[in-house]
Amino acid sequence: MAFEPLRVACIGMGWWSDVLADAMVRSGRLNIAACYTRSEQKRQAFAAKYGCRAAPSYGAILEDRSIEAIINTTPNNVHLETTSAAAAAGKHTFLDKPIATTIADARAITAACRKAGVVLALGYQRRKETHFRWIRRQIDAGVFGRIVNAEANISRDRLGKFEAGSWRYTAEGMPGGVMLQIGIHYADVLEYLMGPVKAVSGAVAQLVLPGENPDVASLILEHENGALSTLNACYASASEYYLMNIYGKEATAYYDLHHGLMFIKRGGERASPVPCAANDTLVEELEEFAAAVRGEAQPEMGGEAATRSLAVLLAGVTSAREKRRVEVAEVLGSEN
């Protein structure tokens, strides 16, 4: 259904703000009206690039009644402050993952938006990729039979791209380092395909990047249905790579970045390719948010789902630190 473009303001002018802004331009269903970040140089550059107004303060954006929603890419540890302020001003928020760095903050963000009656949507675009949607449809149709195991890898080369002093590479801004920064995407996909995670065992290492945060992480996820999955996340690899293999009693799917999706049923001799057209997941999640604001949809990842997603990764962080298996319920209950 057609509707007027959603008037939004972008806050936090890091590299991801441009990625989302580019997606909004491709969509045409969200209109960037204003922007703000503490650096005047960055906000002026963003305003010039996207033809919007550089606001003198976040308060000025919140007071502008013509702005309907906030696209929030600020550092994780100010998500509560910035999103609660938006909710109090009656503005909806699209917030990039993770929702926060603590369960207490995640719950407070969710509660503030619920109390104000505004939409809260979280950026988990990986689950929307067509190959994962195809696998999910087959699982729902019973083609895989009982799901028993999975393995995933999400790796990137950050050597030479490291931003000294960036909140993304500090223990306060990104607990668990690569585990929370990019591992969270495939932890989410594993839950999307395999079901909720009950417990996590994890280990981390810092091998290549400078700073204080791990650049390699490995998790064993115990799903509530009894299945096990493994997740490796890495910032120390030679290249970008993604892998997701799902093993069922009756069928198996293999996905990797270079070869696409392959599928084989029990008794088959070799896996066959599954054509999956590439989709613009960033546009899809932003348009879903805009439709939710207009009352025409619900965000796939809202505050409660994002809080649970955060708990899975924090269980991994705790496990790596304390060298023990950690149940997700423990993490959720520890900050009640």
Contact (CB, 8 A) for 91 and 69:
yes
pLDDT band at 160 (very low <50, low <70, confident <90, very high): low
- Tell me how far apart the alpha carbons of residues 148 and 168 are, in angstroms, rounded to a whole number: 34
Q: Taking 70 as the threshold, does the pLDDT of residue 159 lie above it?
A: no
Could you tell me how far CA 178 lies from the centroid of its own chain? 13
* Token representation of residue 220: 């064993």
The 10s digit of each residue's pLDDT in 252-292 is 999 999 999 999 999 999 999 999 999 999 999 999 999 99
In angstroms, the CA 260 to CA 246 distance is 14
Residue type, 175: P
With CA atoms as reference, report the closest residue to 188 among 144, 229, 249, 145.
229
Task: Give the pLDDT of residue 213.
Answer: 86
The CATH architecture of the domain made up of 127-265+311-334 is: 2-Layer Sandwich (3.30)
Spatial distance between the Cα atoms of 52 and 187, rounded to a whole number of angstroms: 36
Give residue-wise pLDDT tens across range 75-116.
Answer: 999 999 999 999 999 999 999 999 999 999 999 999 999 999
Domain parsing of the chain, residue ranges: 6-125+283-301, 127-265+311-334
Q: Homologous superfamily of 6-125+283-301 in CATH?
A: NAD(P)-binding Rossmann-like Domain (3.40.50.720)
* CA pair distance 95, 93, nearest whole angstrom: 6
Rounded distance between C-alpha atoms, residue 74 and residue 63, angstroms: 19
* Cβ 175 vs Cβ 317: under 8 Å: yes
- Model pLDDT, residue 176: 84
Give the pLDDT of residue 192: 98
- Give the bridge partners for 327, in sequence order: 199
Total-model pTM: 0.95
- Residue among 170, 160, 179 at smallest CA distance from 239: 160
What does each C-alpha distance from 160 to 156, 164, 216, 217 come to in angstroms?
Answer: 12, 11, 16, 20
What's residue 336's pLDDT?
52
d(CA 218, CA 264): 27
Query: Residue 148: its pLDDT value, please?
Result: 98
What are 28-44's pLDDT values in tens digits? 999 999 999 999 999 99
Number of neighbours of residue 66 by Cβ within 10 angstroms: 8
CB atoms within 10 A of CB 313: 30
pLDDT at 282: 98
Mean pLDDT, residues 293-319 = 97
CA distance 80 to 76: 8
Go through 236-259 and write b for each residue having 16 or more CB atoms within 10 A of its CB, e for each that does not: bbeeebbbbbbbbeebbbbbeeee
pLDDT at 335: 56
The predicted pLDDT at position 128 comes to 98
